[in-house]
Every structure is written in structure tokens, then in C-alpha cells.
Amino acid sequence: MRKLDVDRKYLARIASGEVTPPNGVAGRWTLVVPWNLVADTYGAAVERAMELLNKDRKGKFENLRAGQLGADQLKKSARSTSMFDEVSTSQEGEIKIVWMQFGLRHAGRSIRRAREVFRVDEFGVGWFEALVAVLLHADRLRHYDDLWIDCPGDEFKDSPSDESFDLAPFLVFVDGKVLAGTLSVSPVYAGYGSASFFLPQES
């Protein structure tokens, strides 16, 4: 696979303060690889990211939805797709630079509620992006009491025959390993928070 590039001029604008983090949002800049540079389908890209995380964690990883990542069960949300397109058009290079909060902002909220209260410049992180972020930021999901990551940028349904995509993916750390699974978007789950990206602010 050829080496992917990042927008060096955009990095310089961040360093100079011309492009700034969103006001009042704790987080960090992270690199985002568009999933379609990794695989032909979103589910295949998620599986590839899972393989890499499994290798990185020396086998201490488990996909609780193995064999269920087809387009009839897993898809990107329309909002996240549209807003990431805005990010893509504002930067050159294949790899994008985005401000991300890993869930603390929406801790104590259901995934559904987090989606409802997103700022106008905010959109949900998907499973693929969350997996890549955990790979890039080695301090994430290392301990049981770490905040677990909901992925409101994706939609999932339990069976291809179900009518609605009423689940969303998560990443947690239990019994010494990372688990990837799904949960209902309606309940509030203790210890979880919805991760999100933000459009850049320019001074």
C-alpha cells in the first residue's frame, strides 16, 4: 500500500494558531484515515482496523459482532458522513486532522441524547475512526476504569431482518482486553461516553 499523506500546510496553520480547537471542548487533535482508502466496504474497513488493534494488543482484543459487519447491519450515520465530507474538502492529503473528544463531554448521556445535543459543529465518531484513534493514542482503553467509548457516528441493527438501526458500536476494556460490540442507543450506561469530532475553527 502506498504511503498516505497529510496536509502539511494545515498542520502549520494549527501550529500557528490560525486553526484552533473548538471553544470549551477538552480533547486532542487526531489523524483520521478515510475508511474507503482501507477497504471497498465500511464493514471490511472496520474489520481491518480490528485486526490491527488485535495485533497491537497482542491478541487481547475480541470482536463481539464477528461476521455481522455487512452493510445490512452496519452503516455510517448521515450526519457524520456529511460533516466529514466538509473536513475532507477543507484539507489536502488523504489523512485528515480533526479535533476529537473521547467521550467525557457526553458521559452520563445515552447515545441517542448525545446525538440530540451535538453542537452545530460536532458529529459522531464511528467504529472505524474510534479503533484507529485507540491505535494512535496508546493511553486509551488500558484500564478497566477508563471511560469506555460509544461510537454515535455509526448505526447498527441486531439482525438484517430488523426494521431499524437502533444500536451503536462501542469499545470497552474488560478482563485485560479490548472488546468491540454494540448496545442500544436509548439507555444511559455508567462508564460510557459518546466520542465526537468537531469542525475546525479558523481565526
The answer as to whether 144 is a domain residue is yes
Contact at 8 Å (CB) between 65 and 55?
Answer: no
The answer, yes or no, to whether residue 1 has pLDDT greater than 70, is no
Domain tally, the chain: 1
Range of the domain at 138: 24-200
Give a yes or no: residue 17 inside a domain.
no
Residue 67 forms part of a structural domain: yes
Query: Which residues on adjacent β-strands are paired with residue 181?
Result: 170
The x, y and z cell numbers of residue 171, run together, are: 469499545
Q: How far apart are CA 143 and CA 44, in angstroms?
A: 28
For the chain, the distance separating the N- and C-terminal CA atoms, rounded to the nearest angstrom, is 37
What would the pLDDT profile of 36-92 be if each residue is shown by its tens digit?
999 999 999 999 999 999 999 999 999 999 999 999 999 999 999 999 999 999 999
Residue 16 domain-assigned?
Answer: no
Residue pair 140/102 in contact by the 8 Å Cβ criterion: yes
What is the pTM assigned to this prediction? 0.95
Q: Is the pLDDT of residue 178 over 90?
A: yes
Q: Is residue 92 part of a domain?
A: yes
Q: What is the DSSP letter of 36?
A: G
Element (H, E) at 135: helix 127-136
